[in-house]
Amino acid sequence: MRFLVNAGTFRSFGGFPGIGHLGTALSLHCPDFGHGLGEVVLNLYLPCRDPFEQQPGPTTGMPIHPSMISSYRQFHEEWCPSLPKSKLSPKKRTLELEVLAGFAHAEDLQLGRSPVLRSDWAAGAHALLAAELRRASGKLSKLEDFDVEGFLAWVDSSAALLPTTAEQVELQREEYSAVLSKARQQADPWDLLEEDWDAYHPSARKAVPDPHLWSRADDYAPNGNDTGADLLWEVQERGAALLADEGRSFLAERLAEVEPLMTAPGSQHGYLEREYVVGLAYALLKHHGYCPAWLRDRGLEVLAATLGRLEEEEGGGGARDPQAVELLRTSERVLRACPTDAPG
């Protein structure tokens, strides 16, 4: 079981060192309660002090740009009053809890101080976690292969597992990192992706059969860089309309937008052509199950040119990333064999 703890204000959201060790401690020590639930995410939201008695600005200790006023109002007037919320995703084996934190305020996170240990905050977050899990017990009871009562009882009694010193926090972090590293080495690469496969075409994994080409973190994966990730989302949003001309106009528009960057004297942005062409080809394979022949051919040309440049750089004494080269060659091999007609 993995536990994640995030903190959010009207203008920021993410992990916070002062309370993140709660998730590490529980993840490290949680017994096996069954396969039905694999992750609990606790999102804590911190409002400003007296948000409606003062105008947001220097007087509140939270100076903000005028463009943020709308977000400030929406967060305090709409989002915070709507809490708590919970969302169970059985297919992802995830429970997400959205909770209003009562033990701290936004100013405490925004003043540039990120303590490694806040025992009082962690204790408050743990109490909220236990209470909200009890509130969500009705949803959890619908899960198959999961001991709900045993799990809830363990969480109730787990406060003693929380570290009380900075040294203990670091030791638990290192221990949990080692556990995760070992698990990744032993896991099926497809399981590590944690994708919602229902969001893709039924034949997507057949069209793109190598899990490394699904990476969202590797810049040399088709949709792992920022450009490729945006294309993956946009292809999904546009649906079949994008394929009216087999994606030709869409790609032409995107390349025209970045042409000044790619053609400027001394430009270091030549990689953008690869990111757009190959990223679009694979986004279509993943969301539509095929890549038009013209785009496949252009993708192969771009990949061949990129690999050629890397070989020239190595021959001239330049450094080469073997993993990047291998991933580009895998992209080339899979694209060459990909389906070019829509699945029947």
Model pLDDT for residues 257-301, shown as the tens digit of each residue:
999 888 888 888 889 999 999 999 999 999 999 999 999 999 999
φ, ψ for residue 282, nearest 5 deg:
-75, -30
200 plus 227 within the same structural domain: yes
100 plus 213 within the same structural domain: no
287 plus 325 within the same structural domain: yes
Final residue belonging to a domain, choices 138, 161, 186: 186
pLDDT reported for residue 58: 43
324 plus 274 within the same structural domain: yes
32 plus 167 within the same structural domain: yes
Final residue belonging to a domain, choices 164, 186, 208: 186
145 plus 280 within the same structural domain: no
pLDDT reported for residue 133: 98
Examine residue 197 and state whether it is found in any structural domain, yes or no: yes
130 plus 210 within the same structural domain: no
Domain hosting residue 102, numbered range: 2-186
Examine residue 343 and state whether it is found in any structural domain, yes or no: no
pLDDT reported for residue 111: 45
Examine residue 287 and state whether it is found in any structural domain, yes or no: yes
Final residue belonging to a domain, choices 186, 218, 235: 186
Percent of the chain beyond pLDDT 90?
64
97 plus 135 within the same structural domain: yes
Examine residue 344 and state whether it is found in any structural domain, yes or no: no
Examine residue 28 and state whether it is found in any structural domain, yes or no: yes
Other beta carbons less than 10 A from residue 128's beta carbon: 20
133 plus 228 within the same structural domain: no
What span, in angstroms and rounded, lies between the C-alpha atoms of 151 and 33? 6
Examine residue 173 and state whether it is found in any structural domain, yes or no: yes
Examine residue 341 and state whether it is found in any structural domain, yes or no: no
What span, in angstroms and rounded, lies between the C-alpha atoms of 43 and 68? 21
pLDDT reported for residue 209: 97
**Positions in the chain short of pLDDT 50:** 58-60, 111-112, 316, 318
205 plus 322 within the same structural domain: yes
Taking a C-beta distance cutoff of 8 angstroms, is the pair 86, 42 a contact? no
What total of structural domains would you count in the chain?
2
pTM surpassing 0.85?
Answer: no
225 plus 281 within the same structural domain: yes
Examine residue 169 and state whether it is found in any structural domain, yes or no: yes
29 plus 122 within the same structural domain: yes
Q: Which residues contact 129 (CB under 8 A, 6 or more apart)?
A: 3, 22, 40, 42, 97, 155
